[in-house]
Chains A and B, each alone.
Chain A
Amino acid sequence: MKNLLITLLTTGAAVLAVTVAQAASEAPAPEWEPSRLEQALSRVAQGKPAEGERLHHYLYCSACHGDDGNSPSRNWPSLTGQKPDYVMKTLLDYKQNMRRDHYRKAYVMTRMTQLLDEKQMADLAAYYASRPAPVVPPQTSAKLAKQGARLAQQGDGKRGITACAACHGERGESGVTPDTPALAGQTPEYFVQAMQMYKAGMRTSDVGGVMRMFAKPLTDSEIQALAHYYASLGRQVQAPAK
């Protein structure tokens, strides 16, 4: 093991260490305003599902989000069946360094979205939207789902909590505005993480701070129950999804 290097060094293990600037030091974009968001999403309808499918594999999205967009992991969300506006918005959130919640996880997407232009974002969005909703995650608890159903469907008038279904749809199929995603079949652990970030005010990608406001009065166990309720609304399959 006798290498000789001039002007820079490496070692027998061949490590070329370069000091790394972390994305966290970059300034985040200002929060969304409805008009700016609408403009940013103007290209979403031009997305091509076939090209999005190619990108899903070519850019290794599938490595975390699943071969078909159904997340195989508790760490990451499923993307299949998501509405295109929301996927495009989320990709823009990351690219603009807006998702500083849960820093180490957001970092992956913050870096990855630097590779994408708006056309590619629209293609990915179109691909996921073209797929059926996620299947019910195997870890979904029927007991917790039952507990969450009432709050999701009716809210809690006494505490001023609006029904989630009012925006996210009767069956978690998503609502009308770009920032109301489909929730049916979503990874419950990811759902909890997202809600806790909203509750703590650390996730600021919601337009007008709406989700930060709704998440605030919810208890940890209510968030858990809602996560399993929405997970339980996913697609039922007999055999494992191909």
Chain B
Amino acid sequence: MIILDHKDAFTKEVPFKKAWERLYGFNTPNAMIEWIPAAQGGKPKRVDVDRMTVIAEAGAFKADVINYIAPQRASPIAFRMGLTNREGWCPVNRRTFESEIVRDVFVIGDAAVADAMPKSGYSANSQAKVAAQAIADQLAGRTPGEPSMINVCYSLAGENYGVSIVDIFKVVDNRIVKLPASGVSPITDSPAQPLLEAIYQRNWHRTFANDCFA
């Protein structure tokens, strides 16, 4: 697997790379996974679908399967409703997630401009709760309170190998900022640590899905 990245860093990079080293020979001649950051020519220029080839700055890469993640922006409905800014995202009041462009419309999740919050399902869930509370407050004639938001993201780097990140956010000067309590999986030599994270990932996923949909 070759990752061509137009960036030079990524979320949970340290524990991910350690997991790749331990599980997939990362940075060895037998590596099953390779990451080519922008600085090494990872930036893709185009995809030749007929030849199943990606042309990046570092050269041409032919593959059996290509998963191309296109530049992202808010979904078409946000554009049609006139909620987007010039960058293609939806600016919102950071305390309520009400659109700064159209009153009484609330935007959460990837589409919203949420500063330090990552575009994750957990962020969207946390923002939904803030928005719902703000809507209830507005309907009742109350001033919405000061929100606190969370992001939790677990990943499985292997069947028994989990890595995670936790962030806690609040609004400072009308921007969402990350608090120092945030953190990413530490690197330890204990085999129990990634295993427990993998177990927690499944429990987290189960309870999170319940929280969203049950």
The stretch among A56-64, A82-90, A232-240 that forms the contact with chain B is: A56-64
Chain A, range 1-54, C-beta contacts under 8 Å to B: 1-18, 20-21
Q: Do most interface residues of chain B lie in helix, strand or loop, or is the interface mixed?
A: mixed
Chain B, range 25-79, C-beta contacts under 8 Å to A: 42, 44, 54, 56, 61, 63-72
B87 CB-CB contact with A under 8 Å: no
Instruction: Please give me the residue from chain B that is nearest to A11 by CB atom.
Output: B69
CB contacts between A and B, total, < 8 Å: 114
Chain A residues within 8 Å of B202, by CB? 20
Evaluate whether A5 and B196 lie within 8 angstroms (CB atoms) in the complex, with A13-B118, A20-B156 already known: no
Chain A residues within 8 Å of B56, by CB? 4
Chain B, range 69-97, C-beta contacts under 8 Å to A: 69-72
B210 CB-CB contact with A under 8 Å: no
Q: Are A104 and B203 in contact (CB under 8 A)?
A: yes
Residue total for A at the interface (Cβ-Cβ under 8 A)? 30
Mark each residue of chain A from 90 to 134: 1 if its CB lies under 8 Å from any CB of chain B, else 0.
000000000000001001100110010000000000000000000
B2 CB-CB contact with A under 8 Å: yes
Residue total for B at the interface (Cβ-Cβ under 8 A)? 46
B191 CB-CB contact with A under 8 Å: yes
Evaluate whether A17 and B156 lie within 8 angstroms (CB atoms) in the complex, with A3-B5, A7-B65, A111-B195 already known: yes
Cβ distance A58 to chain B, nearest Cβ, rounded Å: 5
Q: Sorted from nearest, which 9 A-B pairs have the closest CB atoms? A: A9-B67, A6-B63, A4-B4, A59-B192, A4-B44, A8-B1, A5-B67, A6-B2, A60-B192
A-B contact pairs, 9 of them (CB 8 A): A3-B10, A4-B56, A7-B1, A9-B67, A14-B153, A16-B156, A107-B199, A111-B195, A115-B191
Q: Which residues of B contact A (CB under 8 A)?
A: 1-7, 10-12, 16, 42, 44, 54, 56, 61, 63-72, 118-121, 153, 155-160, 190-193, 195-196, 199, 202-203
